[in-house]
């Protein structure tokens, strides 16, 4: 979810009034367990419930026990973490990778120690909260460019061309809009203006590029190792949790000693890394699922558009159905729910335009898609 302007925590005595205000705006959340058909999770390849991955996780626990017991710099390290890092680096064609507990910690910890107050950080306006929190914590100067607008980015790079330290920070597939960044264009600008490039592949890993290794491995990208930092989470298409930052050997070494979310945090369960290895092997071979998911996403988008629904610039498995008001989004979400589909309304300030954020996965059949589309059409 992209960065949300925070709702400031009021003093405790003011909390009842605060909650009743949220209630009147329909903003009190209930934490419902999964119900109905999944049209909203990020389990894009259905791996979180795959028997082979579940078995691997159990084996990992048998081999390594439960918790790791400490930070990897103390006594939490196991060779299985490194085995995952080596395999992962080979997959995404990076020199090296470092494993973090999750994508949020990876973005926050890495960006905040890569950049310092001497940096200008060029951020896509729709970047995820974890990227922006890392930017803020770094103390560098945050400069937003218009969403996916590389002309705007170039103007800003020109404006700050006198600054020595620059980094461009962006997602590759945007989590709320499902559109893709122009990576070839970003690589060109990065070279031209001598900036570092930090990519968040959270919603692309497993789904795009050679063997599902991400947008960085798309055919028109000649040298993925020119990308300075790539964050890939295991929490979405890979069906687990955890995340890797893929980078150069030296930069990995630096992060290992400096990223505070790595250094000052208990290492993840080793079993997660063990199952992560299984997941990478499985995902590499899931070309048929990837193709079907993209075909279904194309079909889904064009069907919605055929009766006037706006799906923005989506070109991935994430398809927003943009709506005129928050009330419309809530109404459609509950209608879908009553027909057995779980699809959530996402509203300002999390996004600029209220929507149902549909995220498709490879287990959804064409018939189920058609039924979902029918409910939207009749709404």
Contacting positions for ligand PLP (CB under 6 A): 1, 102-104, 107, 128, 130, 171, 175, 200, 202, 233, 235, 243
CA dist 193 and 31 (Å) reads 46
In the complex, the smallest distance separating the C-beta of residue 251 from ligand PLP, rounded to whole angstroms, is: 19
What DSSP assignment string belongs to 307-365? TT-B-TT--SSEEEEE-S-HHHHHHHHHHHHHTTEE-EEE-TTTSSS-EEEEE--TT--
CA dist 100 and 98 (Å) reads 7
In the complex, the smallest distance separating the C-beta of residue 266 from ligand PLP, rounded to whole angstroms, is: 16
In the complex, the smallest distance separating the C-beta of residue 76 from ligand PLP, rounded to whole angstroms, is: 19
Considering beta carbons, is residue 45 or 376 the nearer one to ligand PLP? Answer: 45
Considering beta carbons, is residue 103 or 109 the nearer one to ligand PLP? Answer: 103
**C-alpha 11: how far from its chain's center?**
33
Question: Both tokens of residue 268?
Answer: 């993840």
Considering beta carbons, is residue 259 or 376 the nearer one to ligand PLP? Answer: 259
In the complex, the smallest distance separating the C-beta of residue 44 from ligand PLP, rounded to whole angstroms, is: 12
Shortest Cβ contact with ligand PLP: which residue? 103
CA angle 203, 331, 357 (to 5 degrees): 5
In the complex, the smallest distance separating the C-beta of residue 359 from ligand PLP, rounded to whole angstroms, is: 10
**C-alpha 199: how far from its chain's center?**
10
In the complex, the smallest distance separating the C-beta of residue 263 from ligand PLP, rounded to whole angstroms, is: 18
Tell whether the torsion through CA atoms of 100, 5, 143 and 353 is positive or negative.
positive
Considering beta carbons, is residue 104 or 262 the nearer one to ligand PLP? Answer: 104
Question: Both tokens of residue 3?
Answer: 């960065």
CA angle 108, 114, 118 (to 5 degrees): 115
Considering beta carbons, is residue 104 or 145 the nearer one to ligand PLP? Answer: 104
In the complex, the smallest distance separating the C-beta of residue 361 from ligand PLP, rounded to whole angstroms, is: 15
Considering beta carbons, is residue 102 or 337 the nearer one to ligand PLP? Answer: 102
Considering beta carbons, is residue 103 or 212 the nearer one to ligand PLP? Answer: 103
CA distances from 211 to 154, 277, 284 (A): 32, 15, 5
CA dist 256 and 43 (Å) reads 29
In the complex, the smallest distance separating the C-beta of residue 244 from ligand PLP, rounded to whole angstroms, is: 10
What 3 state SS string does 115-128 have? CCCCEEEEEECCCE
Considering beta carbons, is residue 44 or 372 the nearer one to ligand PLP? Answer: 44
Largest separation between any pair of C-alpha atoms in the chain: 59
């Amino acid at each position: 979810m992209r960065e949300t302007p925070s709702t400031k925590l009021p003093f405790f005595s003011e909390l009842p009034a605060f909650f009743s205000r949220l209630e009147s705006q329909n903003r009190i959340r209930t934490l419902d367990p999964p119900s109905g058909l999944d049209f909203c999770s990020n389990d894009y390849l259905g791996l979180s419930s795959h028997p082979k991955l579940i078995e691997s996780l159990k084996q990992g626990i048998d081999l390594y026990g439960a918790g790791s017991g400490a930070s990897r710099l103390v006594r939490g390290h196991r060779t299985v973490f490194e085995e995952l890092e080596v395999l992962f680096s080979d997959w995404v064609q990076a020199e090296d990778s470092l494993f973090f507990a999750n994508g949020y910690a990876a973005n926050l910890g890495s960006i905040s120690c890569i950049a310092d107050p001497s940096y200008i950080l060029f951020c896509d306006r729709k970047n995820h909260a974890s990227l922006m929190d890392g930017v803020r914590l770094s103390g560098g100067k945050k400069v937003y460019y218009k969403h996916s607008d590389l002309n705007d980015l170039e103007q800003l790079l020109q404006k700050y061309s006198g600054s020595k330290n620059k980094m461009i920070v962006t997602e590759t597939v945007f989590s709320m809009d499902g559109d893709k960044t122009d990576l070839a264009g970003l690589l060109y600008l990065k070279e031209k203006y001598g900036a570092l490039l930090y990519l968040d592949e959270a919603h692309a890993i497993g789904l795009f590029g050679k063997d599902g290794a991400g947008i960085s491995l798309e055919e028109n990208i000649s040298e993925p190792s020119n990308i300075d930092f790539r964050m890939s989470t295991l929490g979405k298409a890979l069906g687990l949790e955890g995340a890797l930052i893929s980078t150069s050997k030296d930069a990995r070494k630096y992060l290992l000693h400096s990223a505070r979310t790595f250094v000052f945090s208990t290492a993840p369960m080793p079993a997660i890394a063990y199952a992560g290895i299984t997941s990478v092997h499985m995902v590499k071979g899931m070309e048929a699922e990837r193709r079907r998911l993209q075909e279904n996403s194309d079909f889904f988008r064009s069907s919605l558009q055929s009766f006037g629904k706006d799906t923005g610039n989506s070109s991935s498995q994430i398809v927003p159905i943009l709506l005129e008001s928050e009330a419309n989004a809530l109404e459609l979400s509950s209608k879908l729910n009553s027909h057995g589909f779980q699809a959530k309304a996402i509203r300002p300030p999390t996004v600029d335009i209220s929507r149902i954020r549909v995220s498709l996965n490879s287990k959804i059949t064409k018939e189920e898609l058609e039924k979902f589309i029918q409910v939207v059409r009749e709404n």
